[in-house]
Chains A and B, each alone.
Chain A
Amino acid sequence: MEEKKNFLLQAIGIKKSFGSIIALEEVNLEIGHNEIVGLVGDNGAGKSTLIKILTGVYSADRGELYWKGQKIDKLTVNLARGLGIVTVFQDRALVSQHPIWRNVFMGKELANRFGFINIRKEKEETMRLLKEMMGFTSASISSPDTIVGNMSGGEQQGIAISRALYFEAPLIILDEPTTGLSLTESQKVINFVRNIKKEKKSCIFITHNLFHVYPVADRIVIIDRGKIVEDLIKDKITLKELEERMIKVTGTNAMRAKNADKFLLNN
């Protein structure tokens, strides 16, 4: 039992089925403090079901969840949000017609007790956030007034991640953050994930692309057909070996990563 205190989030023996289809069977997953965990698996492997359980969208048929060593009886969406488990979905995280500062404080406005927003303060804080978190200079994000829809895909992910960090979210779940992005944009997203590590927070990085998660992850967890088949410390395995294991588990056709993606490793 003492051991549980060392984890931020721990899932034990999670089982979930939809009718006769078993989505997850006996899944054990631990996320440590300030740990970046890559959750890798093919489509339909059970990644999103597991994430929906960890964020309270679904409840598990069986199994236990612990947050900082405390057992959670029933995790709801509101409870998960209250604990600071933030999910960043690509294309779904931001309001694209609005400026950065509006997006940062959306739903958590700096307002007085009558509900009036302190716009000046929100813009100042956004400016500070852009300087500290965005970590690179780009003309399009020089001002808090920039409309999010005019920014690139990677930068938008960056805003969503920075927003979660601003509000001190202990666990940020990134759902396929690099899918559909160009190489440079994926690189930007990976840099934002490094910010999560730097800010001493934890992250679950969900992807089907090993090359995107390997450079930033502390651990790589491979999920296949509802089971966790590998749970590896990144430093103890080379990418080559990891690739071979992945192929062995999921079959060759699952390795769809482009050669170009390997380029990311050198940056």
Chain B
Amino acid sequence: MRNFVNQKRMEIAVSSVFLLMIVIFICGNPSVFLNYRLYMAVFTTLPILIFLSTSLVFVIANGEIDLSFPALIGISAWAFASTVKAGINPFLALIIGIIVGSFGGLINGLMIANLGISSLILTLGMNFLLRGLIMIGTNGHGITLAFLRNTKFFEVFLGKIGKFPLLMLWAAGFIIFVWLLFYRHKFGGNVCYVGNNIISSREMGIDIKRVKTLAFVLVGASSGFVGGMLCLINNQFYPNTGDGYLLIALTAVFLGGTPTKGGVGTIFGAIIGAFILGFLETGIIGIGLSGFYTKFFFGLILILALISHRIYKTK
């Protein structure tokens, strides 16, 4: 038991922050926070953040960073929306969107792994480049997708079982997938080994380029899925789809305790990080504060988390 506590220190710390936050909210406004409706509302937006933050853990544990995923979301949303609009089956269109996102991730990964260039700068440039492409291609116009409402496709992803949003179940499925991949599969191990010690990984015969590339492909694929979902949630494709997620998804990863320097990562932390941010946004309004407080509290909680991770680590 003590061993378990020692090993999972970081996870326990971040979970207690989350629980403390919920308790504060419940005390602040019991009528709102003891009602299931608030939780159901959070559960429709939370899955998006979970898809992004858990897959970003791979890239960050690999010692790299991806700042281009908002534009990957945008470009796959565009691909999804325009193919659906052209009359293609939405399920197929979603797969096309995921392929477009994965392909963007593949280009990122191949360039970073083979040319040895900085992922920070490359993906920063890629984010501008792809967003620019969307703007040029769409001329800034969106695509209405209201006809997707109440279709089978809509029900599969945004429908509800009783009161429970189905997208949360899809997110749960994705969590199981990335969890297995990160902790139980060779790939997850290799991602971390390369981030920890690239020379040692090469000595032990790990294909570094492949591992790096695949980590970026994973982020691209989940961005592709998110792109489709955002179109569905908004009933519309906007040329700036995905833009708002850059900082919040990365905040969820770092809040959870994955260090910036790579080598290790925590999927559980990224999920709890997403929960904290998801509930904070709704909770601040629920507790009676103005929405202007949201960013202030995001910043505050990230800095506090950073300090607590530091303290836990040196203990």
Residues of chain A at the chain B interface (Cβ within 8 Å): 78, 81, 87, 89, 92-98, 102, 106-109, 111, 114-117, 119, 143, 145
Q: Which residues of A contact B190 (CB under 8 A)?
A: 107
Q: Which residues of A contact B203 (CB under 8 A)?
A: 87, 89, 92-93
Which one of A93, A109, A145 contacts B189 once the chains associate, using CB atoms below 8 Å?
Answer: A109
- B199 with A107: CB separation less than 8 A: no
Known: A92-B200, A98-B264. A117 touches B184 (CB 8 A): yes
Q: How far is the CA of A117 from the CA of B205 in the complex (A)?
A: 17
- B196 with A98: CB separation less than 8 A: yes
Residues of chain B at the chain A interface (Cβ within 8 Å): 3, 7, 180, 184-187, 189-190, 192-193, 196-197, 199-201, 203-206, 263-264
Q: Which residues of A contact B192 (CB under 8 A)?
A: 95, 97-98
Known: A92-B197, A94-B197, A115-B187. A107 touches B3 (CB 8 A): no
Q: Which residues of B contact A81 (CB under 8 A)?
A: 205
Known: A109-B186, A116-B184, A145-B7. A95 touches B196 (CB 8 A): yes
Known: A102-B189, A115-B187, A117-B189. A97 touches B263 (CB 8 A): yes
Q: How far is the CA of A93 from the CA of B199 in the complex (A)?
A: 8
Smallest Cβ distance from B65 to chain A, in angstroms? 18
Q: Which residues of A contact B204 (CB under 8 A)?
A: 106-108
Which one of B180, B185, B200 contacts A95 once the chains associate, using CB atoms below 8 Å?
Answer: B200
Q: How far is the CA of A94 from the CA of B263 in the complex (A)?
A: 12
- Known pairs A98-B264, A109-B189; list 6 more (Cβ under 8 Å): A94-B197, A102-B193, A115-B186, A115-B187, A116-B185, A116-B186
Q: How far is the CA of A97 from the CA of B192 in the complex (A)?
A: 9
Q: Which residues of A contact B185 (CB under 8 A)?
A: 111, 114-117
- B200 with A97: CB separation less than 8 A: no
Which one of A87, A96, A98, A107 contacts B206 once the chains associate, using CB atoms below 8 Å?
Answer: A107
Q: Which residues of A contact B7 (CB under 8 A)?
A: 145
In chain B, what residue has the closest Cβ to A97? B263
Q: What are the 10 closest A-B residue pairs judged by CB atoms, nearest first?
A: A107-B204, A95-B196, A97-B263, A115-B186, A107-B205, A92-B199, A95-B193, A95-B197, A97-B264, A97-B196
Which one of A94, A108, A114, A145 contacts B3 once the chains associate, using CB atoms below 8 Å?
Answer: A145
In chain A, what residue has the closest Cβ to B263? A97
Q: How far is the CA of A109 from the CA of B201 in the complex (A)?
A: 13
Q: How far is the CA of A94 from the CA of B201 in the complex (A)?
A: 8
Known: A106-B189, A117-B184. A93 touches B200 (CB 8 A): yes
Smallest Cβ distance from A190 to chain B, in angstroms? 23
Q: How far is the CA of A85 from the CA of B190 in the complex (A)?
A: 22
Which one of B180, B200, B263 contacts A116 once the chains associate, using CB atoms below 8 Å?
Answer: B180
In the complex, 6 of the A-B residue pairs with CB atoms within 8 angstroms, ordered by the A residue number, are A89-B199, A93-B203, A95-B263, A96-B196, A116-B184, A145-B7
Smallest Cβ distance from A143 to chain B, in angstroms? 8
Q: Which residues of B contact A93 (CB under 8 A)?
A: 200, 203
Known: A116-B180, A145-B7. A94 touches B200 (CB 8 A): yes
Smallest Cβ distance from B218 to chain A, in angstroms? 14
Q: How far is the CA of A87 from the CA of B180 in the complex (A)?
A: 32
Of B3, B185, B200, B263, most buried by chain A (CB within 10 Å of CB) is B200
Of B180, B196, B203, most buried by chain A (CB within 10 Å of CB) is B203
In chain B, what residue has the closest Cβ to A115? B186
Smallest Cβ distance from B178 to chain A, in angstroms? 14
Q: Which residues of B contact A102 (CB under 8 A)?
A: 189, 193
Q: Which residues of A contact B186 (CB under 8 A)?
A: 109, 111, 115-117
Q: Which residues of A contact B199 (CB under 8 A)?
A: 89, 92
In chain B, what residue has the closest Cβ to A95? B196
- B193 with A106: CB separation less than 8 A: yes
- B200 with A98: CB separation less than 8 A: no
In chain B, what residue has the closest Cβ to A160? B200
Q: How far is the CA of A117 from the CA of B197 in the complex (A)?
A: 21
Q: Which residues of A contact B3 (CB under 8 A)?
A: 143, 145
Q: Which residues of B contact A98 (CB under 8 A)?
A: 192-193, 196, 263-264
Q: Which residues of B contact A115 (CB under 8 A)?
A: 185-187
Smallest Cβ distance from B10 to chain A, in angstroms? 12
In chain A, what residue has the closest Cβ to B206? A107
- A96 with B205: CB separation less than 8 A: no
In chain B, what residue has the closest Cβ to A94? B200
In chain A, what residue has the closest Cβ to B6? A145
Known: A81-B205, A106-B189, A106-B204. A96 touches B197 (CB 8 A): yes
Q: Which residues of A contact B197 (CB under 8 A)?
A: 92, 94-96
